[in-house]
Structure 1
Amino acid sequence: MSNSSHLAELVQQFCTQRPIRAGSLIITIFGDAIVPRGGTVWLGSLIKVLESFGLNQRLVRTSVFRLSKEEPWLSAQQLGRRSYYSLTAQGRRRFDKAFKRIYLPVLPEWDGSWCLAVLSQVPVDIRQQVRDELSWMGFGSFSPILMAMPHCDMQEVRNTLQELGALDDCILFETREGDAFSSQALREQSRECWNLDQVSDSYKHFLERFRPVWQEMKAQDSLDPGECFLARTLLIHEYRKVLLRDPQLPAELLPQDWSGVAARQLCRNLYSLVCAASEEYIAKMFETADGPLPEPMPAFYKRFGGVKA
């Protein structure tokens, strides 16, 4: 029986959701647990681990196949009768963009600069694709042909547009607003462009689900490694889903009661609590062709400003 009733409830909720997003959970596990330890895993060990999330072998195999053939996020290597999977180069790039946002200890201070992307010259047949990709990066839509983002990496924007074949057609500006960047009008514009009310509600729901888990596990004298892995994986999985809809705007542009700050602190606290025991579980359960996964890379220990494993 689980030592944490609230964790058991979270697992049950995941098992009963329809449809079960097995592929998304697998990507979470790769990004959070496998990539820091070399990035390759035997499918059989992945299947065994995912049983604790209520996923059967057939569903896992089908999901991994789709991630390797239709997306593609994963690449396969066959050695004898065993299949080993790792992130593709494309999957690694998308992983790097998404997961580096998750583990930041704090958001960088904003100097008032903006990146503006004018899409009027982007061909109509790819304009929506460009809009979608820029939105995924954190841009907000100020109009059908104007998107904006504060404190962006201009080179990353150019690289993304280059991959889409739209760099020569997109007009980019980098501006500085000065001292007036926290005006009420700009706050309201930000609320509308990035659907901040909806994102805030998602953070509140995240807090309602995981705060009881944190409180319950914090009170335990000893933590079960398997439960710690469950908690850590579901924590990052659910936080990732909310965070990727969050443009992570500077505090100057956010509502006064923004719930994302509390959600990040809770995520950091619970992750730090379960990290060491969950790493024991990862080392025991996951396999490569050479045996257990390698030790985590040094960068792993810098997550959320520093974790111990």
Structure 2
Amino acid sequence: MSRGTFKLDPLELPQEQPAKVAKVLDHPAPRATRFIVTIYGDVVAPRGGTLWMGTLISVCAVHGISESLVRTAVSRLVGGGQLEGDRIGRKSYYRLTEASSRDFARVGQLFYDPPSAPQGWYVAIGHRPDSAGWARLGSQAAIAPARADIDRPEGALMRADTYSGLQDLRAFAADSWPVSEAAKAYRAFIERFDVLSDTVAELPGQLALALRLQAIHQYRQAVLSDPRLPIDALPSDWPGQDAARLFARLYLQLAPQSDAQIARSFADARGVLMAETDQTKARLKSLSKTATA
């Protein structure tokens, strides 16, 4: 089998909530390349950026991803400039490149320390930017949410606020950005993981980490599909905030067992990885704010 479902063995399913946990895990195996990115982003990046290939193979096997798929995915990530490898004796270690470390930090902030919703809009006049986040306003203008990460083109650029016509604005936003796709992804995350609320505090370490990685992986896909528009442009039943609070609560509940499991079973060339670092502590502090927002 090259790509299958989640493997419960050798995980010990808790007797108190077996149906709920099993429901969350009863999904096809994730795509190897994307899931490896999830592992590096959550576990490896804040702990030095390097991981032994043997650890990666073992972790992915629990999630139904075969060794051959792991090796193929790692080769692709190396070819794409995201990872680079070292061989020490008979063991191979792969670390984040300098460029991918910066990218991981930028993307990770979106779900570990999410920024506030943008206030207002940028309007470019006389040209139509082709960079991400911009939508056309006829042939000679474009509009984008006023966020710090939006590329601002040269030429006439203005700031705008919404004063009226919210229904028209929401209709335009739905036609111009993937609002419905992001909402669907957020709702799918909530539907899958909401059953775990208040039931994960005492799970075994390997199972806690597996659930955390699954939650991060699915939530990450939802966040990356989110156009991050001003609140006025979003539907009144927008699920993004509920998904963010659920993700934060689950992460915080799973963190103690997950981080202890990392310190037992994840290794780089120097030995096992640390359970906590300044970066992981900062993530928990930020997520605590999101969980109660």
Structures share fold, TM-score greater than 0.5? yes
How many Å apart are 1:297 and its aligned residue?
3.3
Per the alignment, do residues 172 and 280 of structure 1 end up closer, same or farther by CA in structure 2, a change over 3 Å counting?
farther
Question: Paired residue for 1:25, among 27, 30, 35?
Answer: 35
Alignment counterpart, residue 148 of structure 2, candidates 146, 149, 153? 153
Q: Aligned equivalents of 1:173 and 1:33: distance in 2? A: 43
Q: Which has the higher helix share?
A: 1
Tell me the residue number matched to 2:194: 211
Q: Please name the residue that 1:98 is paired with.
A: 107
Distance in 1, Cα, partners of 2:89 & 2:117: 52
RCO higher in 1 or 2 (8 Å CA, sep ≥ 6)? 1
SS at match of 2:197: helix
With normalisation by structure 2, the TM-score equals: 0.83
Structure 1 counterpart of 2:226, one-letter code? D
Q: Any conservation in 1 of the 2:33–2:73 contact (CA below 8 Å)?
A: yes
Instruction: Provide the secondary structure at the position in 2 that maps to 1:247.
Output: coil
Alignment of 1:247-286 (within 5 A): 247-286=227-266
Distance 2:226 2:210 in 1: 24
- CA distance in 1 between counterparts of 2:22 and 2:224 reads 26
Residue segments in structure 1 that go unaligned for 5+ positions in a row: 123-130, 159-169
SS of residue in 2 equivalent to 1:14? coil
Q: Deviations over 1:20-45 (max 9, x none)?
A: 51110000010011111111111111
**1:77 corresponding residue in structure 2:** 86
The count of corresponding residues between Structure 1 and Structure 2 is 274
**Matched residues in 1 for 2:125 and 2:47: separation?**
38
Number of the residue aligned with 1:42: 52
Q: Is the 8 A contact 1:114 1:176 kept in 2?
A: yes
Offset at residue 197 of structure 1 (A):
2.0
Q: CA deviation at 1:81?
A: 1.3
Taking structure 1 as reference, are residues 81 and 142 closer, same or farther at Cα in structure 2, changes over 3 Å only? farther
**Counterparts in 2 of 1:12 and 1:189: CA distance versus 1, 3 Å:** same
1:145 CA drift (Å): 7.5
Give, in whole Å, the separation in 2 of the partners of 1:142 and 1:113: 13
> Do 2:259 and 2:275's aligned partners in 1 also have CA atoms closer than 8 Å?
no
The C-alpha deviation readout for 1:38-74, integer Å capped at 9, x for no partner, is: 11111111111222111222221111111112x2311
Q: What is the percent sequence identity of the aligned residues?
A: 29
Distance 2:126 2:226 in 1: 22
**Amino acid in the other structure paired with 1:288:** D
Shift of the 118–27 alpha-carbon distance from structure 1 to 2, 3 Å rule, reads farther
Provide the secondary structure at the position in 1 that maps to 2:203.
coil
Letter in 2 for 1:13: H
Structure 2 vs 1, CA of residues 171 and 8 (structure 1 numbering), >3 Å: closer, same or farther? Answer: same
Contact 2:112 2:286 (8 Å CA) reproduced: no
Aligned-partner residue type, residue 37 of structure 2: I
Q: Is the 8 A contact 1:181 1:252 kept in 2?
A: no
**CA offsets 1:96-152 (integer angstroms, 9 cap, x no match):** 3321111125x42544242648765x8xxxxxxxx4xx33xx444556875532222
What does 1:189-204 align with in structure 2 at a 5 Å threshold?
Answer: 189-204=172-187
Structure 1 residue aligned with 2:9: none
Structure 1 residues 306, 108: CA separation in 2 closer, same or farther (over 3 Å shift)?
closer
What letter is aligned with 1:108?
S
Specify the SS of the correspondent of 1:55: coil
8 Å contact kept, 2:121–2:145? yes
CA positional deviation for 1:286: 0.7
Counterparts of 1:110-129 in structure 2, within 5 Å, are 110-114=118-122, 116=124
